[in-house]
Structure 1
Amino acid sequence: MDGPKDEVFRSKVAWVFGWLWLAFAAWNTFDLIARGSMPSALIAGAVLGVITALVFLMAMRPAIVLEDGGVRIRNPLRNAYIPWNAIGDVIVTNAIVIEAGRTTVRCWTPQTTARERARASARAAKAASSADASRTDRAVAEAVGTRTHADWVAHRITETGAMRQDASSGETSVTWSPVALAVTAAAVALVAVTIVLS
Protein backbone atom coordinates (compact mmCIF):
# COMPACT_ATOMS: atom_id res chain seq x y z
CA MET A 1 0.00 0.00 0.00
CA ASP A 2 1.35 3.42 -0.97
CA GLY A 3 1.90 6.06 1.70
CA PRO A 4 0.66 9.62 1.43
CA LYS A 5 1.87 11.57 -1.58
CA ASP A 6 4.58 14.17 -0.94
CA GLU A 7 3.39 17.77 -0.90
CA VAL A 8 5.78 20.34 -2.38
CA PHE A 9 5.58 24.06 -1.55
CA ARG A 10 7.64 26.68 -3.38
CA SER A 11 7.31 30.11 -4.93
CA LYS A 12 5.32 29.57 -8.13
CA VAL A 13 6.52 32.91 -9.53
CA ALA A 14 10.17 31.92 -8.98
CA TRP A 15 9.55 28.46 -10.46
CA VAL A 16 7.97 29.87 -13.64
CA PHE A 17 10.69 32.54 -13.91
CA GLY A 18 13.33 29.79 -13.57
CA TRP A 19 11.92 27.76 -16.45
CA LEU A 20 11.58 30.85 -18.63
CA TRP A 21 15.19 31.74 -17.88
CA LEU A 22 16.35 28.20 -18.75
CA ALA A 23 14.57 28.44 -22.12
CA PHE A 24 16.17 31.86 -22.72
CA ALA A 25 19.61 30.55 -21.70
CA ALA A 26 19.30 27.46 -23.92
CA TRP A 27 18.37 29.60 -26.94
CA ASN A 28 21.23 32.02 -26.32
CA THR A 29 23.72 29.18 -25.79
CA PHE A 30 22.71 27.72 -29.16
CA ASP A 31 23.07 31.16 -30.76
CA LEU A 32 26.54 31.67 -29.21
CA ILE A 33 27.72 28.27 -30.46
CA ALA A 34 26.26 28.77 -33.95
CA ARG A 35 27.20 32.41 -34.57
CA GLY A 36 29.45 33.64 -31.78
CA SER A 37 33.07 34.62 -32.18
CA MET A 38 35.86 34.24 -29.64
CA PRO A 39 36.54 35.67 -27.07
CA SER A 40 33.26 37.61 -26.78
CA ALA A 41 31.17 34.41 -27.15
CA LEU A 42 33.16 32.78 -24.34
CA ILE A 43 32.64 35.77 -22.02
CA ALA A 44 28.91 35.95 -22.85
CA GLY A 45 28.65 32.19 -22.27
CA ALA A 46 30.31 32.50 -18.86
CA VAL A 47 27.96 35.32 -17.81
CA LEU A 48 25.00 33.27 -19.03
CA GLY A 49 26.27 30.21 -17.13
CA VAL A 50 26.76 32.07 -13.84
CA ILE A 51 23.31 33.70 -14.04
CA THR A 52 21.74 30.32 -14.87
CA ALA A 53 23.45 28.74 -11.84
CA LEU A 54 22.14 31.54 -9.61
CA VAL A 55 18.61 31.19 -11.03
CA PHE A 56 18.68 27.43 -10.41
CA LEU A 57 19.97 27.82 -6.85
CA MET A 58 17.75 30.71 -5.79
CA ALA A 59 14.54 30.25 -7.83
CA MET A 60 14.15 26.61 -8.86
CA ARG A 61 15.79 24.55 -6.11
CA PRO A 62 14.25 25.97 -2.90
CA ALA A 63 11.19 24.09 -1.66
CA ILE A 64 9.50 22.60 1.38
CA VAL A 65 8.55 18.95 0.88
CA LEU A 66 6.16 17.21 3.26
CA GLU A 67 7.17 13.54 3.13
CA ASP A 68 5.75 10.51 4.89
CA GLY A 69 8.33 10.57 7.70
CA GLY A 70 9.06 14.28 8.03
CA VAL A 71 9.59 17.61 6.35
CA ARG A 72 12.48 18.20 3.93
CA ILE A 73 13.65 21.77 3.34
CA ARG A 74 15.71 22.62 0.26
CA ASN A 75 17.40 26.01 0.58
CA PRO A 76 19.80 27.36 -2.09
CA LEU A 77 22.92 25.55 -0.79
CA ARG A 78 21.68 23.34 2.04
CA ASN A 79 19.20 20.57 2.72
CA ALA A 80 17.46 19.99 6.04
CA TYR A 81 15.30 17.12 7.19
CA ILE A 82 13.14 17.13 10.32
CA PRO A 83 11.06 14.06 11.33
CA TRP A 84 7.49 14.85 12.32
CA ASN A 85 8.02 13.97 15.99
CA ALA A 86 10.94 16.43 16.27
CA ILE A 87 9.08 19.51 15.01
CA GLY A 88 8.55 22.16 17.67
CA ASP A 89 7.34 25.64 16.82
CA VAL A 90 6.69 26.71 13.24
CA ILE A 91 6.89 30.50 13.10
CA VAL A 92 6.27 32.90 10.23
CA THR A 93 8.11 36.21 10.09
CA ASN A 94 9.04 37.14 6.53
CA ALA A 95 10.00 33.47 6.13
CA ILE A 96 8.96 30.18 7.72
CA VAL A 97 11.19 29.16 10.64
CA ILE A 98 10.95 25.57 11.93
CA GLU A 99 12.33 24.76 15.35
CA ALA A 100 13.39 21.21 16.18
CA GLY A 101 15.11 20.99 19.56
CA ARG A 102 18.46 22.79 19.23
CA THR A 103 18.12 23.02 15.45
CA THR A 104 16.39 25.99 13.82
CA VAL A 105 15.79 25.94 10.07
CA ARG A 106 14.88 29.09 8.17
CA CYS A 107 13.10 28.20 4.92
CA TRP A 108 14.04 30.11 1.78
CA THR A 109 10.57 29.71 0.30
CA PRO A 110 7.71 30.55 0.48
CA GLN A 111 8.33 34.00 1.94
CA THR A 112 5.91 36.75 2.78
CA THR A 113 6.36 40.48 2.31
CA ALA A 114 4.93 43.38 4.28
CA ARG A 115 2.91 44.29 1.17
CA GLU A 116 1.42 40.78 0.91
CA ARG A 117 0.53 40.84 4.61
CA ALA A 118 -1.10 44.28 4.23
CA ARG A 119 -3.16 43.04 1.27
CA ALA A 120 -4.29 39.98 3.27
CA SER A 121 -5.29 42.21 6.21
CA ALA A 122 -7.23 44.54 3.88
CA ARG A 123 -9.08 41.54 2.38
CA ALA A 124 -9.97 40.27 5.84
CA ALA A 125 -11.14 43.70 7.00
CA LYS A 126 -13.31 44.08 3.90
CA ALA A 127 -14.86 40.63 4.39
CA ALA A 128 -15.37 41.24 8.12
CA SER A 129 -17.15 44.55 7.51
CA SER A 130 -19.53 43.13 4.93
CA ALA A 131 -23.07 44.11 5.87
CA ASP A 132 -24.68 40.84 4.78
CA ALA A 133 -22.23 38.55 6.61
CA SER A 134 -23.15 36.91 9.91
CA ARG A 135 -20.99 37.35 13.00
CA THR A 136 -19.51 33.86 12.52
CA ASP A 137 -18.77 34.52 8.84
CA ARG A 138 -17.05 37.77 9.77
CA ALA A 139 -14.93 36.06 12.45
CA VAL A 140 -13.89 33.32 10.00
CA ALA A 141 -13.10 35.89 7.30
CA GLU A 142 -10.98 37.86 9.75
CA ALA A 143 -9.07 34.80 10.98
CA VAL A 144 -8.49 33.12 7.61
CA GLY A 145 -8.31 36.24 5.46
CA THR A 146 -5.18 37.57 7.16
CA ARG A 147 -3.19 34.47 6.17
CA THR A 148 -0.52 34.73 3.52
CA HIS A 149 0.77 31.77 1.51
CA ALA A 150 3.63 31.35 4.02
CA ASP A 151 1.13 31.32 6.92
CA TRP A 152 -0.89 28.66 5.16
CA VAL A 153 2.19 26.49 4.51
CA ALA A 154 3.32 26.85 8.15
CA HIS A 155 -0.15 25.76 9.30
CA ARG A 156 0.02 22.80 6.90
CA ILE A 157 3.39 21.74 8.35
CA THR A 158 2.03 21.92 11.91
CA GLU A 159 -1.19 20.11 10.97
CA THR A 160 0.61 17.34 9.03
CA GLY A 161 3.14 16.91 11.85
CA ALA A 162 0.33 16.36 14.35
CA MET A 163 -1.34 13.77 12.08
CA ARG A 164 1.84 11.85 11.18
CA GLN A 165 3.60 11.60 14.55
CA ASP A 166 3.55 7.80 14.37
CA ALA A 167 4.97 7.77 10.83
CA SER A 168 8.09 9.77 11.82
CA SER A 169 11.35 8.40 10.50
CA GLY A 170 14.97 9.48 10.35
CA GLU A 171 16.95 12.03 12.32
CA THR A 172 17.06 15.81 12.18
CA SER A 173 19.87 16.85 9.83
CA VAL A 174 21.16 19.96 8.09
CA THR A 175 23.69 19.23 5.31
CA TRP A 176 25.26 20.85 2.27
CA SER A 177 23.49 19.89 -0.95
CA PRO A 178 25.79 17.97 -3.35
CA VAL A 179 23.75 19.21 -6.34
CA ALA A 180 23.95 22.85 -5.22
CA LEU A 181 27.70 22.57 -4.57
CA ALA A 182 28.23 20.94 -7.99
CA VAL A 183 26.31 23.73 -9.74
CA THR A 184 28.31 26.36 -7.82
CA ALA A 185 31.60 24.62 -8.65
CA ALA A 186 30.63 24.41 -12.35
CA ALA A 187 29.87 28.15 -12.43
CA VAL A 188 33.20 28.99 -10.75
CA ALA A 189 35.08 26.65 -13.15
CA LEU A 190 33.37 28.29 -16.13
CA VAL A 191 34.50 31.74 -14.96
CA ALA A 192 38.05 30.46 -14.35
CA VAL A 193 38.25 28.88 -17.83
CA THR A 194 36.94 32.08 -19.41
CA ILE A 195 39.55 34.19 -17.59
CA VAL A 196 42.36 31.84 -18.71
CA LEU A 197 41.24 31.59 -22.35
CA SER A 198 40.25 35.20 -23.01
Structure 2
Amino acid sequence: MTTPDHPSSAPQPPEPDRKDRVHRSPAAIVGGVLLLAVAGWFGIDAVVSGQGGTPWRALAALLLGVPLVVAFTLRPAVHVNDDRLRIRNPFRIIVLPWGEVASLRSGYSNEVVTKSGTKYQLWALPVSLRSRKRAARREMLIRAAGEEPRGGRSGRGAGLGLGGGLGGVSVPAEGPVRAETDRIMDDLRELHANRRDAASAQGEVTVRWAYEIAGPAAAGAVLLVILLAGG
Protein backbone atom coordinates (compact mmCIF):
# COMPACT_ATOMS: atom_id res chain seq x y z
CA MET A 1 0.00 0.00 0.00
CA THR A 2 1.36 3.39 -0.94
CA THR A 3 1.15 6.38 1.34
CA PRO A 4 0.39 9.86 0.03
CA ASP A 5 3.24 12.28 -0.23
CA HIS A 6 3.37 14.98 2.42
CA PRO A 7 4.02 18.46 0.97
CA SER A 8 5.97 19.41 4.06
CA SER A 9 8.52 16.69 3.38
CA ALA A 10 9.16 17.80 -0.22
CA PRO A 11 12.20 20.00 -0.78
CA GLN A 12 11.25 23.66 -0.88
CA PRO A 13 12.87 26.19 -3.21
CA PRO A 14 15.03 28.78 -1.47
CA GLU A 15 13.24 31.92 -0.39
CA PRO A 16 14.24 35.05 -2.28
CA ASP A 17 16.56 37.40 -0.41
CA ARG A 18 14.44 40.43 0.47
CA LYS A 19 17.02 42.00 2.75
CA ASP A 20 18.37 45.10 1.09
CA ARG A 21 22.00 45.47 0.12
CA VAL A 22 22.84 49.17 0.11
CA HIS A 23 25.42 50.79 -2.17
CA ARG A 24 26.62 54.33 -1.52
CA SER A 25 29.57 56.50 -2.53
CA PRO A 26 32.10 56.82 0.33
CA ALA A 27 33.80 59.76 -1.38
CA ALA A 28 30.48 61.64 -1.65
CA ILE A 29 29.71 60.99 2.01
CA VAL A 30 33.11 62.28 3.14
CA GLY A 31 32.79 65.32 0.89
CA GLY A 32 29.29 66.03 2.16
CA VAL A 33 30.33 65.86 5.80
CA LEU A 34 33.22 68.26 5.16
CA LEU A 35 30.99 70.70 3.26
CA LEU A 36 28.39 70.65 6.03
CA ALA A 37 31.08 71.24 8.64
CA VAL A 38 32.48 74.25 6.74
CA ALA A 39 29.01 75.67 6.04
CA GLY A 40 28.01 75.22 9.66
CA TRP A 41 31.19 76.89 10.90
CA PHE A 42 30.86 79.99 8.71
CA GLY A 43 27.07 80.12 8.96
CA ILE A 44 26.94 79.98 12.75
CA ASP A 45 29.76 82.51 12.97
CA ALA A 46 27.81 84.89 10.69
CA VAL A 47 24.62 84.43 12.74
CA VAL A 48 26.37 85.06 16.05
CA SER A 49 28.82 87.78 15.03
CA GLY A 50 27.12 89.37 12.02
CA GLN A 51 25.49 92.78 12.09
CA GLY A 52 22.42 94.21 10.41
CA GLY A 53 20.83 91.77 8.01
CA THR A 54 23.86 89.46 7.86
CA PRO A 55 22.51 86.91 10.39
CA TRP A 56 19.24 86.58 8.45
CA ARG A 57 21.03 86.23 5.13
CA ALA A 58 23.28 83.59 6.67
CA LEU A 59 20.27 81.65 7.95
CA ALA A 60 18.62 81.83 4.52
CA ALA A 61 21.83 80.63 2.85
CA LEU A 62 22.03 77.70 5.29
CA LEU A 63 18.38 76.85 4.66
CA LEU A 64 19.15 76.77 0.94
CA GLY A 65 22.60 75.18 1.00
CA VAL A 66 22.32 72.44 3.62
CA PRO A 67 19.47 70.50 1.91
CA LEU A 68 21.29 70.72 -1.43
CA VAL A 69 24.54 69.41 0.05
CA VAL A 70 22.65 66.56 1.73
CA ALA A 71 20.76 65.81 -1.51
CA PHE A 72 23.85 65.44 -3.68
CA THR A 73 26.27 63.82 -1.19
CA LEU A 74 24.67 62.03 1.78
CA ARG A 75 21.29 61.12 0.33
CA PRO A 76 22.05 59.08 -2.84
CA ALA A 77 21.88 55.31 -2.31
CA VAL A 78 20.95 52.17 -4.23
CA HIS A 79 18.97 49.53 -2.31
CA VAL A 80 18.94 46.09 -3.90
CA ASN A 81 17.19 42.83 -3.14
CA ASP A 82 15.90 39.87 -5.13
CA ASP A 83 12.59 41.57 -5.96
CA ARG A 84 13.41 45.15 -6.83
CA LEU A 85 15.87 47.98 -7.24
CA ARG A 86 15.26 51.08 -5.11
CA ILE A 87 17.15 54.18 -6.23
CA ARG A 88 17.43 57.17 -3.91
CA ASN A 89 18.60 60.09 -6.04
CA PRO A 90 18.97 63.73 -4.91
CA PHE A 91 15.33 64.70 -5.51
CA ARG A 92 13.52 61.43 -6.26
CA ILE A 93 13.05 57.89 -4.99
CA ILE A 94 12.47 55.34 -7.76
CA VAL A 95 11.36 51.76 -7.08
CA LEU A 96 11.79 49.38 -10.00
CA PRO A 97 10.75 45.73 -9.81
CA TRP A 98 13.28 43.61 -11.69
CA GLY A 99 10.56 42.60 -14.14
CA GLU A 100 10.26 46.23 -15.29
CA VAL A 101 14.00 46.71 -15.85
CA ALA A 102 15.15 46.43 -19.46
CA SER A 103 18.88 46.97 -18.95
CA LEU A 104 21.58 48.52 -16.81
CA ARG A 105 24.05 50.69 -18.72
CA SER A 106 27.50 52.01 -17.90
CA GLY A 107 29.11 54.81 -19.85
CA TYR A 108 30.06 58.18 -18.47
CA SER A 109 27.36 57.50 -15.87
CA ASN A 110 25.59 54.41 -14.55
CA GLU A 111 21.89 54.21 -15.33
CA VAL A 112 18.96 51.82 -15.42
CA VAL A 113 16.53 51.68 -18.34
CA THR A 114 12.94 50.52 -17.91
CA LYS A 115 10.91 48.57 -20.45
CA SER A 116 9.08 51.78 -21.33
CA GLY A 117 12.41 53.41 -22.26
CA THR A 118 12.69 55.73 -19.24
CA LYS A 119 16.22 56.19 -17.93
CA TYR A 120 17.20 56.77 -14.31
CA GLN A 121 20.73 57.69 -13.30
CA LEU A 122 22.33 55.92 -10.34
CA TRP A 123 23.77 58.88 -8.41
CA ALA A 124 25.11 56.60 -5.68
CA LEU A 125 27.29 54.73 -8.20
CA PRO A 126 29.31 57.44 -9.95
CA VAL A 127 31.62 56.46 -12.78
CA SER A 128 35.30 57.14 -12.12
CA LEU A 129 37.40 57.19 -15.27
CA ARG A 130 40.50 57.32 -13.06
CA SER A 131 39.47 54.09 -11.33
CA ARG A 132 38.85 52.46 -14.70
CA LYS A 133 42.32 53.43 -15.89
CA ARG A 134 43.83 52.20 -12.62
CA ALA A 135 41.98 48.89 -13.01
CA ALA A 136 43.25 48.54 -16.57
CA ARG A 137 46.83 49.12 -15.42
CA ARG A 138 46.48 46.53 -12.67
CA GLU A 139 45.01 44.05 -15.10
CA MET A 140 48.04 44.52 -17.35
CA LEU A 141 50.40 43.99 -14.40
CA ILE A 142 48.56 40.86 -13.30
CA ARG A 143 48.63 39.43 -16.81
CA ALA A 144 52.34 40.16 -17.05
CA ALA A 145 52.94 38.46 -13.70
CA GLY A 146 50.97 35.42 -14.84
CA GLU A 147 53.09 35.12 -17.97
CA GLU A 148 56.38 35.60 -16.12
CA PRO A 149 56.11 33.88 -12.72
CA ARG A 150 58.52 34.98 -10.01
CA GLY A 151 59.81 33.01 -7.07
CA GLY A 152 58.25 29.79 -8.34
CA ARG A 153 54.71 31.22 -8.22
CA SER A 154 52.38 32.04 -11.07
CA GLY A 155 48.83 33.20 -11.53
CA ARG A 156 46.86 36.36 -10.97
CA GLY A 157 48.66 38.87 -8.76
CA ALA A 158 51.61 36.62 -8.00
CA GLY A 159 54.51 38.63 -6.59
CA LEU A 160 52.58 41.91 -6.84
CA GLY A 161 51.18 42.08 -3.33
CA LEU A 162 47.81 43.29 -4.63
CA GLY A 163 44.80 43.42 -2.37
CA GLY A 164 41.12 43.61 -3.25
CA GLY A 165 39.07 46.74 -3.40
CA LEU A 166 41.92 49.25 -3.03
CA GLY A 167 41.70 52.69 -4.58
CA GLY A 168 38.24 52.08 -6.04
CA VAL A 169 39.49 48.95 -7.83
CA SER A 170 38.17 45.44 -7.23
CA VAL A 171 40.68 42.57 -7.63
CA PRO A 172 38.67 39.32 -7.85
CA ALA A 173 40.09 35.84 -7.49
CA GLU A 174 39.02 35.15 -11.07
CA GLY A 175 38.09 37.34 -14.00
CA PRO A 176 39.34 40.77 -15.01
CA VAL A 177 40.16 43.56 -12.58
CA ARG A 178 37.27 46.00 -12.46
CA ALA A 179 36.62 49.45 -11.02
CA GLU A 180 34.44 49.14 -7.92
CA THR A 181 31.30 50.72 -9.39
CA ASP A 182 31.70 48.65 -12.59
CA ARG A 183 31.86 45.50 -10.47
CA ILE A 184 28.68 46.52 -8.65
CA MET A 185 26.96 47.11 -11.99
CA ASP A 186 28.07 43.63 -13.12
CA ASP A 187 26.45 42.18 -9.98
CA LEU A 188 23.24 44.10 -10.63
CA ARG A 189 23.10 42.82 -14.23
CA GLU A 190 23.54 39.25 -13.03
CA LEU A 191 20.81 39.66 -10.40
CA HIS A 192 18.50 41.20 -13.02
CA ALA A 193 19.09 38.30 -15.40
CA ASN A 194 18.30 35.77 -12.67
CA ARG A 195 15.24 37.50 -11.17
CA ARG A 196 13.47 39.39 -13.97
CA ASP A 197 11.00 36.55 -14.64
CA ALA A 198 10.27 35.77 -10.97
CA ALA A 199 6.66 36.25 -9.86
CA SER A 200 7.69 38.30 -6.81
CA ALA A 201 9.79 40.63 -8.99
CA GLN A 202 6.86 41.96 -11.01
CA GLY A 203 4.95 45.19 -10.46
CA GLU A 204 4.83 48.85 -11.40
CA VAL A 205 7.56 51.46 -11.36
CA THR A 206 6.93 54.10 -8.69
CA VAL A 207 8.53 57.52 -8.42
CA ARG A 208 8.27 59.81 -5.40
CA TRP A 209 9.66 63.34 -5.24
CA ALA A 210 11.76 64.26 -2.20
CA TYR A 211 9.72 67.21 -0.93
CA GLU A 212 11.65 67.06 2.35
CA ILE A 213 14.68 68.23 0.35
CA ALA A 214 13.08 70.46 -2.26
CA GLY A 215 10.79 72.28 0.20
CA PRO A 216 13.43 73.72 2.57
CA ALA A 217 15.78 74.50 -0.34
CA ALA A 218 13.04 76.41 -2.20
CA ALA A 219 12.07 78.29 0.97
CA GLY A 220 15.70 79.22 1.59
CA ALA A 221 16.12 80.43 -2.01
CA VAL A 222 13.00 82.61 -1.83
CA LEU A 223 13.99 84.05 1.54
CA LEU A 224 17.54 84.76 0.35
CA VAL A 225 16.27 86.56 -2.77
CA ILE A 226 13.92 88.70 -0.67
CA LEU A 227 16.67 89.62 1.80
CA LEU A 228 19.18 90.46 -0.93
CA ALA A 229 16.61 92.50 -2.85
CA GLY A 230 15.69 94.42 0.29
CA GLY A 231 19.30 95.25 1.02
TM superposition score normalised by structure 2: 0.71
Q: Is the 8 A contact 1:53 1:187 kept in 2?
A: no
Distance 1:52 1:67 in 2: 31
* Aligned-residue CA RMSD (Å): 2.9
TM-fit CA distance, 1:11? 1.4
Correspondence 1:149-168 to 2 at 5 A:
149-164=180-195, 165-168=198-201
Structure 1 residues 126 and 4, CA, compared in 2 at 3 Å: closer, same or farther?
A: same
Q: Is the 8 A contact 2:102 2:114 kept in 1?
A: yes
Structure 1 residues 184 and 30, CA, compared in 2 at 3 Å: closer, same or farther?
A: closer
Gaps of 5+ in 1: none
Q: Residue 134 in 1 paired to residue 155 in 2?
A: yes
Distance 2:144 2:83 in 1: 42
Alignment correspondent of 1:82: 96
Correspondence 1:1-198 to 2 at 5 A:
4-67=18-81, 69-102=83-116, 103-130=118-145, 131-132=148-149, 133-134=154-155, 143-145=175-177, 147-164=178-195, 165-168=198-201, 170-195=203-228, 198=231
TM-fit CA distance, 1:14? 0.8
Q: Is the 8 A contact 1:18 1:55 kept in 2?
A: yes
Distance 2:83 2:216 in 1: 28
Higher helix share: 1
Q: Is the 8 A contact 2:47 2:58 kept in 1?
A: no
Q: Which SS does the other structure have where 2:105 is aligned?
A: strand
Alignment correspondent of 2:163: none
- How many correspondences in the alignment? 194
Is 41-50 or 64-73 further displaced after alignment? Answer: 41-50
- Percent identity for Structure 1 against Structure 2: 28
TM-fit CA distance, 1:142? 8.5
Distance 1:180 1:191 in 2: 17
Structure 1 residues 150 and 54, CA, compared in 2 at 3 Å: closer, same or farther?
A: same
Is 180-189 or 119-128 further displaced after alignment? Answer: 180-189
Is 188-197 or 102-111 further displaced after alignment? Answer: 188-197
Structure 1 residues 183 and 167, CA, compared in 2 at 3 Å: closer, same or farther?
A: farther
Larger radius of gyration: 2
Q: Which SS does the other structure have where 1:88 is aligned?
A: strand
Distance 1:169 1:125 in 2: 42
Gaps of 5+ in 2: 1-14, 159-171
1:96-132 Cα offsets, whole Å, 9 max, x none, are 1212201222222311132221111001111111022
